[in-house]
Structures are given as C-alpha cells and as structure tokens.
C-alpha cells in the first residue's frame, strides 16, 4: 500500500425495497446522497450511470470532512476499474472488540470480513482489517471513525454500515456479504 489507511469511506446498506421492487421511499433515496457527500458535485462526482449501478449495492455515509468530497471517491473507484485485473477477493475471520462509550457495555464477537484489493496488498489489507475490528487497541488514526468493530458487534449506531472503501489505497472490505457479492459481480471479479 502507498499510504497508511486514513480516508476510509463508510458504505451503508442500500435502502430496502418493497415487494413490488420499488424503492421504499424514492424521495428518501433521492435525498440520501444529496446531503451525504460531494462538495457541490452531484453524487460526489459519480456519474448518474455509475450511481444507478451502485445504489442497489450501497449508499454513502456522510463522513463530515472535505477530504471525502470534490471527486475523491469516484477517482478511487476509477482507479479500481482501471486496475481491476490486478485485484483479488478474499475473506478473513476477525474478532470485533467494541469499546462502548454508552450504556450498552463493551462487546466482542467473531465475524467474516470480505475484501477486494490489489494482490500485492492482500496481506497488509488483512492486517488493517484486524486492526479496524479492535476498538480496544487503537494504534492508528483515521480521518473519521471507521466503525468496523461496532458493526461486527451489532452496536445500534453502526447497524447500517456494511462496507468500507479506503479511497487512498483503493481497496474495499465488507461485513455484508450481499454488498460484497454485488460489488464483485459489478466488477466481474471471481470469488
């Protein structure tokens, strides 16, 4: 990897669909990414065609920092597409250790985490996923909270998270297998 992970974009599960395959709330869906990121760019600079493909796989969480805006996310996605032949998929089991700051108490749980990365970065990506899964030993700093430990441990504030995208190092990881499978299918990656 070129950099220590720092800009990790959280990816949330897409809005649920009704039985008739219509979005639960087209107004909510339309508004969801209008405020989530972009710095004035529609969909953060992601084209309408690309957003149509991604919206059924994930939605973007608001990160609260300009570093995630002004086209940073689509530039990373473009880099992944350009180098997709160098990418591999995999999964690892990790232990999520969540240090609670509210009344829910500390939590610990095992989970599978699925990843997509450049082959030569695979070992390092797995090391970082293990670090992100343990909130009790934070020996790293990211621009915004990753929240992997909370998601693994099913903490109420992390329930919508299902994936993460390192926009500097161009890899993704997921706790939600449906999101992972959807991204792999979109990119033509074999599992």
Provide DSSP, 27-78: HHHHHHTTTTS-TTSGGGG--HHHHHHHTTT-EEPP--SGGGTTTHHHHHHH
Average pLDDT over the chain, rounded to whole? 85
Give pLDDT, residue 33: 47
Own/partner contacts of 39-45, CB < 8 Å, gap of 24 or more, are 39/66, 39/69, 39/70, 40/69, 40/70, 41/69, 41/70, 41/71, 44/68, 44/69, 44/71, 44/72, 44/73, 44/74, 45/70, 45/71, 45/73, 45/74, 45/75
89-141 confidence digits (pLDDT tens): 999 999 999 987 776 678 899 999 999 999 999 999 999 999 999 988 888 99
Q: The sheet that has 107-118: what strands, in order across it?
A: 59-60, 8-12, 161-166, 171-174, 107-118, 87-98
Summarize the chain as % helix, strand, coil (round to 5): 35, 25, 40
Residue 12 has pLDDT above 50, yes or no: yes
Give pLDDT, residue 35: 45
35-62 confidence digits (pLDDT tens): 455 545 455 556 677 778 888 999 988 8
Q: Is 77 left (phi over 0), alpha (psi -120 to 50) or beta?
A: alpha
Lowest-pLDDT range, 10-14, 137-141, 162-166, 174-178? 137-141
Full-model pTM:
0.85
């Amino acid at each position: 990897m070129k950099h220590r992970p720092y800009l990790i974009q959280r990816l949330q599960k897409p809005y649920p669909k009704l039985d008739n395959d219509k979005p639960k709330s087209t107004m909510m869906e339309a508004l969801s990414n209008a405020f989530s990121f972009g710095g004035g760019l529609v969909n953060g600079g992601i084209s309408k065609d690309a957003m149509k493909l991604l919206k059924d796989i994930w939605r973007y969480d608001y990160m609260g920092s300009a570093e995630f805006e002004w086209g940073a996310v689509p530039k990373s996605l473009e880099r992944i597409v350009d180098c997709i032949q160098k990418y591999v998929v995999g999964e690892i089991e990790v232990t999520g250790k969540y240090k609670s700051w509210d009344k829910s108490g500390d939590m610990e749980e095992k989970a599978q985490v699925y990843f997509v990365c450049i082959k030569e970065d695979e070992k390092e990506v797995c090391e970082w996923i293990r670090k992100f899964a343990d909130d009790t030993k934070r020996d790293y700093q990211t621009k915004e909270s990753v929240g992997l430990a909370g998601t693994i441990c099913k903490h109420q504030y992390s329930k919508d998270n299902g994936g993460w995208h390192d926009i500097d190092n161009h890899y993704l990881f997921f706790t939600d297998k449906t999101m992972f499978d959807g991204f792999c299918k979109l990119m033509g990656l074999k599992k």
